[in-house]
A = this chain, B = another copy of it.
Amino acid sequence: MTSALHSFSELLIRKLESIGSVSEAERSALCRLQPTLTCLNAHEDLVREGERLDSITVLIQGYACRYKLLADGKRQIMAFHIPGDILDMRSFLLPRMDHSIGSITPSQLGVIPHAALHDVFSNQPGLAYHFWRSTLVDAAIFREWMVGIGRRLAFSRIAHLFCELIVRMQSVGLCSDYTIELPLRQSDIADAVGMSTVHVNRTLQELRKQKLIKFTRGTLTAMDWPRLCVAGQFDEIYLH
């Protein structure tokens, strides 16, 4: 419990610091936040479209995703989230969720009531800017996904997704040797890149055949990072 609490503020600070410099006062204000810890099983929803929330959530451990369901049952995943990510900052300022958030793996979450956040922000107005900034980085990721879905071929799309996840996991220390835990089903990937599961399968085979990746049993390795980046037309500037 204590170690989880420790990693909560540590993760959050690391996250905010990766996109702007956090002052000592801000840092200690963050440390005084007392999150409620929660767990989620794999494939459980944290929030559903249409709901109202009175707290924000930081992902401490595990993978989560944002998605929308269409009337015909199709799903579009719009983002994957990794430890340190703030999951529903939107709810702090807009009452009603316009999409759902669910876990992918068993996850641990830290929950902070809006009210507590308001307090921190009024004492440390600079902190609000940091959180705002993180929502802008999220938006940049959405835009980059749009480019991928709209204008890249299957091969490139999946390569790009893998590049993004590796870089983001690096930034929170969860990647070594271009290897990350990535327990996604092929259907999850399909819903993220806007393709069918079958075609994801074939494209993965092609990526493997070209010795760009290893991807089995929930572990992804970029075997040739430079060539993977080229294949995915990946340029990490957008990540901050």
| Mask of A81-93 contacts with B, CB within 8 angstroms, 1/0 | 0000000011001
| Interface assignment of A70: CB less than 8 Å from any CB of chain B | yes
Within 8 A of B (CB), among A48-87: 50, 66, 68, 70-71, 74-76, 78
Q: Does A197 interact with chain B (Cβ within 8 Å)?
A: no
Is A94 among interface residues, defined by CB-CB distance under 8 A? yes
Stretch at the interface among A124-132, A174-182, A209-217: A124-132
Q: Is the CB of B137 within 8 A of A139?
A: no
Chain A contact surface mostly: helix
Contact partner of A135 among B76, B96, B132, B240, CB < 8 A?
A: B132
Q: Does A122 reach chain B (CB closer than 8 Å)?
A: yes
Complex: chain B residue closest to A125, CB-CB: B125
A193 to B147, CA, bound (A): 10
CB-CB contacts below 8 Å: A149-176 with B: 149-152
| A147→B149 CA distance, assembly (Å) | 10
In angstroms, Cα B98 to Cα A138, docked, is: 12
A198 contacts across to B, CB distance below 8 A: none
Q: Is the CB of A71 within 8 A of B133?
A: no
Return the chain B residue nearest A93 by Cβ. B133
A93 touches B132 (CB 8 A): yes
In this assembly, does A105 line the interface, its C-beta being within 8 Å of a C-beta of chain B? no
Q: Is the CB of A68 within 8 A of B143?
A: yes
Please, which residues of chain B bring their CB within 8 A of the CB of A19? 94
Q: Determine how close the nearest CB of chain B comes to the CB of A193; give it in whole angstroms.
A: 7
Instruction: For the complex formed, measure the closest distance between the CB of A194 and the CB atoms of chain B, giving whole angstroms.
Output: 3
5 contacts across the A-B interface (CB closer than 8 A): A89-B136, A90-B136, A93-B136, A94-B137, A138-B139
Closest 7 CB pairs of A and B: A150-B194, A142-B142, A98-B238, A139-B139, A76-B147, A93-B133, A74-B151
Given contacts A70-B147, A70-B151, A98-B237, 16 further A-B contacts (CB under 8 A): A68-B143, A70-B233, A71-B233, A74-B151, A90-B140, A93-B136, A94-B136, A94-B240, A98-B143, A98-B144, A98-B238, A128-B129, A128-B132, A132-B132, A139-B142, A142-B143
